[in-house]
Structure 1
Amino acid sequence: LSLIFEHFLSQYDVSAKDIHVEVTESLLMDDIEKAHFVLRKLQATGIEVWLDDFGTGYSALSYLQQVNFDGLKIDRSFIAQTQQDNKDDSLVRAIISMAHNLGMKVVAEGIETQKQLALIERLNCDVAQGFFLGKPVP
């Protein structure tokens, strides 16, 4: 996989710093050692590796110890509940703080209201993603 990316970067004159690869926990669960090896090779070329849908899997915290992710994306299910439950506000705050303390950037997925955007801005989340900000384009 890392060779494919290296070939792509060379052939199309793309900078590795402009490429971010997102992986889910389910991908890591199959073979954590092999995944870790491949992800380190990608990072060695300058490609960032992010953990997607953080918090929805079985043991995301253990992956944060084993794999040196550049960032993580907070699953939309946490964001959707922030307006109804202070526990979810606290969880989002804790996830952002933990990720920053580990040197990672954070994306909040599923921003659909101004209140949600204001909350994640107050919590110092790095990036917001969701329909409130724009629909996906092909």
Structure 2
Amino acid sequence: MKRIALAGCIAAANFLGQPVSAETVYDCDIKVFTNNGWIAPRVLVLWDDSSKTAKIYDGYIDQLVGEPLAAKVVQRNEMAYDLSWRVNDIPVSNARTKVDGLYSAVFNMQKNTLSIRGVITGFANAPRGRGKCKVKQD
């Protein structure tokens, strides 16, 4: 899992160089509170303010999907949004199986923070992390 995350961070950095339409790219450095993987140390939130939509991109998504995933967006208050997305078929290296990850996050645009929780099918752990986001400047 750590190799996927590292490779994905490099790929995410390369993705930042690509032109993005009317989206604002938030580059979030995540402090992971669990040591079992599942939460990437770097997450990009591609936010479209006109339509209040978001896409999520991280190392796992890069390796497994290859492009940002659309997130379900629900407004929490004036400056915070609940985001949720699903990553399917995540390989588990020590079990020779694949699992699905259901992720939810609180994206606070006023504080520029992202708090993530994951639910991994078949596992009792609850990976989570929180980090500060910077707006990617062109």
Shorter-chain TM-score tier: under 0.3
Q: Structure 2-normalised TM-score? A: 0.24
Higher strand share: 2
Greater Rg, structure 1 or structure 2? Answer: 1
Instruction: Tell which has more relative contact order, 1 or 2 (C-alpha 8 A, sep 6+).
Output: 2
- Is the helix fraction higher in 1 or 2? 1
